[in-house]
Chain A
């Protein structure tokens, strides 16, 4: 497993369309953070350090005085639980890296660059810096968009008006098409879809990602005879 500048640049290049869509969402986050009364420095720091669109948008709704710190941190933790599965899935490749590189890289692991990186690794490409490069492109775009949105304020409109909310869905779908390994994927994918749709309908927040991911992967392992 190598870890090169070339790999990082390749990751940044491949994630560029995602970073652009993320920019639009980041603008909206900045605007909403201003409306929620979060200070400019804090808003920008949140995007740079937490770097999780899902967690940040949900937390906006909790941002009232006095600040419910425990609730906010717990909510962030729960929304992040899907990362546990994603990190575990990286381990066959990342366990061969020096610790600093592995644990430094996962700081920048988001749904999108993780999905791209898994796609690369399962196709046999072996440059672990791909995840980091994609993540850096995304965090720079996300944080600068947050700053602009926080500064510019109300002049912006909902991204759903332009269909941009569908950009991520489209990328994930297209990646899925490339991940299809044959009939053995049918049962786990159907199980994941059914559980995710049900969980999204009946449970609050982001539980559907974790539950669907668990249901699908367990169904797959069971079907393979384990």
Chain B
């Protein structure tokens, strides 16, 4: 139980720490430019290994998601298409192998 409380504390420190630090420093233009690039860079990092380095089914499904998102702008639809596409391509892939 103590372990879990310590884990919770460790996670909260990381969740609050970035905000705390950034609030305490006066932001230079350089810092602001850097902060502006964080969301895209983090999102790219979250998806890059899964989409680019897992296999062809994931890459193709990723492409399908991007196309749907560009065309419709709908996140739920993009998610459903992504899950459907990865399932389809994985099944096709294992059928061929």
Residues of chain A having any CB pair with chain B under 8 Å:
14, 17, 21, 42, 45-46, 49-52, 55, 59, 67, 69, 72-74, 76-77, 80-92, 94-95, 102-103, 106-107, 109, 111, 115, 118-119, 122, 162-164, 166-180, 185, 188-189, 191-193, 195-197, 200-201, 208-221, 224, 226
Interface residues of B in 1-15 (CB under 8 A from A): 1-8, 10-15
**A113 nearest CB across to chain B (Å):** 12
Cα-based distance from A216 to B60 in the complex (angstroms): 24
Residues of chain B having any CB pair with chain A under 8 Å:
1-8, 10-23, 27, 29-30, 32-53, 58, 61-62, 65-66, 68-70, 73, 75-76, 78-79, 81-84, 86-87, 90
Contacts A87-B17, A173-B66, A221-B33 hold; do A179 and B7 have CB atoms under 8 A apart? no
A55 — which chain B residues lie within 8 A by C-beta?
A: 7, 11
Nearest residue (CB) in A for B79 is A170
Interface of A is mostly: helix
Contacts A88-B19, A169-B50 hold; do A185 and B34 have CB atoms under 8 A apart? no
A-B contact pairs, 16 of them (CB 8 A): A14-B75, A50-B4, A50-B8, A73-B6, A76-B11, A89-B39, A91-B22, A92-B35, A163-B83, A166-B50, A170-B62, A171-B82, A179-B40, A180-B40, A193-B52, A200-B49
B11–A170 CB distance below 8 A: no
Q: Contacting A87 at CB < 8 Å: which of B7, B16, B29, B43?
A: B16
**A173 nearest CB across to chain B (Å):** 5
A173–B11 CB distance below 8 A: no
B87–A42 CB distance below 8 A: no
Cα-based distance from A226 to B37 in the complex (angstroms): 13
B22–A86 CB distance below 8 A: no
Cα-based distance from A91 to B29 in the complex (angstroms): 14
Cα-based distance from A173 to B63 in the complex (angstroms): 9
A107–B15 CB distance below 8 A: yes
B42–A82 CB distance below 8 A: yes
Contacts A45-B1, A80-B15, A91-B22 hold; do A193 and B90 have CB atoms under 8 A apart? no
Cα-based distance from A81 to B2 in the complex (angstroms): 21
A215 — which chain B residues lie within 8 A by C-beta?
A: 41
**A155 nearest CB across to chain B (Å):** 21
Nearest residue (CB) in B for A184 is B37
Most buried by A among B2, B35, B52, B84: B35
**B35 nearest CB across to chain A (Å):** 5
**B13 nearest CB across to chain A (Å):** 7
Contacts A77-B10, A220-B33 hold; do A174 and B75 have CB atoms under 8 A apart? yes
A185–B40 CB distance below 8 A: yes
A178–B11 CB distance below 8 A: no
Cα-based distance from A196 to B38 in the complex (angstroms): 14
